[in-house]
Amino acid sequence: MESEQPHVEDQISLSKYSKRVILETILGRPDGGVGLIGRRIVVGGWVKSSREFRKEPAVQAPEALGPKDVLVDSALASPSHVMPTGTCILAEGILQKPSLQDKEIIELKAEKILHVGLVDQDRYPLSKKRLPLELLRDSTHFRPRTTTVASVMRIRNALTQATNTFFQENRFLYVQVPIITTTDSQGSSEIFQVTTLLAKQKADDQSGTDDFEGIKLEIIKATIKEKSKQIEQLKRSDSNKEAVAAAIQDLKKTTELASQLEAKQKQKSGKHSIQTDKINFSEDFFSCKTYLTVSGRLHLESYASALGNVYSFGPRFHANKFDSKKYLAEMWMVELEMAFSELEDSMECAIDFLKFICKWILENCTEDLKFVSKRVDKLVVDRLQLIVTGPFEKISYTEAVETLKQVTERKFETKVEWGVSLNEEHESYLTDEVYRKPLIIYNHPKELKPFNIRLNDDGKTAAAFDVIVPKVGALIRGSQSEERINMLSTRIKELGLEKKQYEWYLDLRKHGSVRCCGFSFLFDPLVLYATGLNDVRDAVPFPRSFGKANN
């Protein structure tokens, strides 16, 4: 027991709820922890790699960025128990200078092993060698133990903290909007419907079994396609032979399952589909049609019409059946509405918001940014600086179309003409080749935007804008809401929407109407921007995409 209290600079932080040392408080010190040599501490983590010398295994149990050596005498624990990758260890010991000359500044000489969580080495998917991120998508519950995914998640956490800090500091009120809603806020057909009546329909129509098998087969075929791509990438990379063999065996089993289902379907006569028009939704849980929300901005507007500036942060859902590296079926979005504001106000808020959160990452994720710059993309910091220090170019949709029509050195897959939705190839060309900076495109054709966006005086365009950045394209889509009830009712009728769905929204125009502006911010693609990753499935803890919903 020490007779004196340690100096302030020698103090270390314990995890409040587990009595172990938070490793960042040691490794994050200017001296790397050298001033703490001789101190007794308790640390915990999972083995990343191990080696054996002088009959004492040394394991690296990472909890934060960078390896941490723990020297374990074989008398304390069997090497076969503590050395396998993935083993969980809680150890008490003394900090000392490293036993071997390597990159480490300090190590822990274990005196007690308080816990060992064993690993089934034949089934554990991770190894000492680095595995491609594509292969790790089938092990979403284990991949945060890899250094790359751990760094990405810390950056994602910092972006979340920065988001809430920005809005709280600017006096926005946080409002929880519903995930289950009766309103299709964007007038989209690609939405998830919520019902508890499918089991009843299945009992009434035994052919429903064919439907579910057909859906399952479609999902399995999509999985086969993805696994085949992963194998090709593994073969081109430096992955170990065991990883390639395991992936091939997994593909073989999946292919066999698909063949069995196809054969089973051929034996059954007739094809049937789930008929939602035959379902009596008055008997459903909510007594009406309900959906997973694609946007919370309509609901936020009702609170902005009473409280001023409001925002929400949560999952939004789109039932698109295409393969995308940027979009998922479940996407996390930040949405806001501001009362007494117009389109220009919303644009300025969007610029300030992006600058704030990018600066936050640069100031608070230094070590993780160094790692992803080295491991993933060396231009990560430069791109963040581009947003923090650089100006945003603003052009109208019409100007964007005219600029693209003048391009002769490149042929776009989608022909550029007024009225066409600008897609990723158009947006990336404008930001990467023409302006080389973040870009705001405003006043889009009304046909391309939801029903509730304010119609401009020209009668052709709507008061909407998109914020486009290099690498990932559109990050923010904003607009000014239509406050004129006659114009709003006309748009609902033009688009063939069910007016009954929107009666509550129209009520906001009948009683104390106010001009509102806001935007939807795609959180997951910003993680790609801040980490250099190319596929959003690697930037989300548990991604949900067409044909894929692990865990």
Predicted confidence at residue 90, as pLDDT, reads 93
Q: Mean of the pLDDT values across residues 508-532?
A: 96
pLDDT over 90 at 174, yes or no: yes
Strands 290-292 and 180-181, how do they pair? Answer: antiparallel
Separation CA 317–CA 296 (nearest Å): 11
CATH value at residue 531: 3.30.930.10
- In a shared domain, residues 413 and 288: yes
Predicted confidence at residue 3, as pLDDT, reads 36
pLDDT over 90 at 209, yes or no: no
Angle at CA 467, nearest 5°, toward 465 and 470? Answer: 150
Q: Give percent helix, percent strand, percent coil of the chain, each to the nearest 5.
A: 40, 20, 40
Residue 431 DSSP label: I
Which helix H or strand E contains 297, and what residues bound it? helix 297-307
Separation CA 538–CA 141 (nearest Å): 13
Spatial strand order in the sheet of 193-194: 180-181, 290-292, 193-194
Residues 473, 424 contacting (CB under 8 angstroms): yes
Confidence tier at 179 by pLDDT (50, 70, 90)? very high
Separation CA 163–CA 360 (nearest Å): 9
- In a shared domain, residues 51 and 184: no
Which of 117, 137, 164 delimits the end of a domain? 117
- At 481, give phi and psi (nearest 5°): -75, 150
Confidence tier at 4 by pLDDT (50, 70, 90)? very low
Residue 29 lies in a domain: yes
pLDDT over 90 at 322, yes or no: no
Separation CA 504–CA 181 (nearest Å): 12
Question: In this predicted structure, which of 128-132, 204-208, 382-386, 523-527 has the lowest mean pLDDT?
Answer: 204-208
Catalogue the long-range contacts made by 235-242 (C-beta closer than 8 Å, 24 or more residues apart): 237/132, 239/129, 239/131, 239/132, 239/135, 240/127, 240/129, 242/127
Residue that the structure tokens 């308080």 belong to: 114
Q: How many domains does the chain have?
A: 2
Q: What domain range includes position 110? A: 2-117
Strands 56-60 and 69-71, how do they pair? Answer: antiparallel
CATH value at residue 76: 2.40.50.140
Which of 100, 117, 134 delimits the end of a domain? 117
- In a shared domain, residues 35 and 162: no
Q: What is the pTM of this model?
A: 0.83
Give percent above pLDDT 70 in the chain: 87
Predicted confidence at residue 65, as pLDDT, reads 45
Separation CA 333–CA 314 (nearest Å): 6
- At 508, give phi and psi (nearest 5°): -65, -25
Separation CA 274–CA 419 (nearest Å): 35
Question: In this predicted structure, which of 191-205, 317-331, 430-444, 446-460 has the lowest mean pLDDT?
Answer: 191-205
Question: In this predicted structure, which of 45-59, 85-99, 411-425, 534-548 has the lowest mean pLDDT?
Answer: 45-59
Residue-wise pLDDT for 244-255, tens only, equals: 777 777 877 778
- In a shared domain, residues 387 and 496: yes
Tokens matching residue 382: 């430069």
pLDDT over 90 at 86, yes or no: yes
Residue that the structure tokens 């274990």 belong to: 110
Confidence tier at 265 by pLDDT (50, 70, 90)? low
Residue 207 lies in a domain: no
Residue 313 lies in a domain: yes
Average pLDDT score over the chain: 86
Predicted confidence at residue 318, as pLDDT, reads 92
Rounded-to-10 torsion of CA 384, 386, 389, 392: -120
Residue 7 lies in a domain: yes
- In a shared domain, residues 156 and 109: no
- In a shared domain, residues 106 and 165: no
pLDDT over 60 at 155, yes or no: yes
- In a shared domain, residues 111 and 173: no
Q: Mean of the pLDDT values across residues 9-22?
A: 72
Predicted confidence at residue 66, as pLDDT, reads 47
Residue-wise pLDDT for 388-433, tens only, equals: 999 999 999 999 999 999 998 888 888 899 999 999 999 999 999 9
> Exposure string (b/e) for 224-247, b if CB count within 10 Å is 16 or more?
bebbeebbeebeeeebeeebbeeb
> Residue 21 CB: number of other CB atoms within 10 A?
23
Question: How many C-alpha atoms does 326 have within 13 Å on its Cβ side?
Answer: 11
Residue 137 lies in a domain: no
Separation CA 476–CA 385 (nearest Å): 18
Residue 447 DSSP label: G
Predicted confidence at residue 198, as pLDDT, reads 79
Q: Where are the beta strands (DSSP E) in 97-178?
A: 107-117, 173-174
Residue 127 lies in a domain: no
Strands 107-117 and 69-71, how do they pair? Answer: parallel
Which carries the bigger pLDDT value, residue 22 or residue 108? 108
Give percent above pLDDT 90 in the chain: 57
Highest mean pLDDT: which of 281-290, 353-362, 411-420? 353-362
Question: In this predicted structure, which of 72-81, 243-252, 319-328 has the lowest mean pLDDT?
Answer: 243-252
- In a shared domain, residues 289 and 367: yes
Which of 117, 132, 161 delimits the end of a domain? 117
- In a shared domain, residues 26 and 162: no
Which carries the bigger pLDDT value, residue 451 or residue 322? 451
Q: Mean of the pLDDT values across residues 2-23?
A: 63
Which carries the bigger pLDDT value, residue 341 or residue 130? 341
Residue 530 lies in a domain: yes
Separation CA 425–CA 367 (nearest Å): 33
Tokens matching residue 140: 């979403």
- In a shared domain, residues 77 and 154: no
pLDDT over 80 at 277, yes or no: no
Separation CA 518–CA 513 (nearest Å): 16
Residues 334, 310 contacting (CB under 8 angstroms): no
Q: Mean of the pLDDT values across residues 116-133?
A: 89
- In a shared domain, residues 106 and 157: no
- In a shared domain, residues 154 and 64: no
Q: Mean of the pLDDT values across residues 188-197?
A: 83
Question: In this predicted structure, which of 36-40, 49-53, 112-116, 292-296 has the lowest mean pLDDT?
Answer: 49-53
Residue 467 lies in a domain: yes
pLDDT over 90 at 202, yes or no: no
Residue that the structure tokens 């929300």 belong to: 293
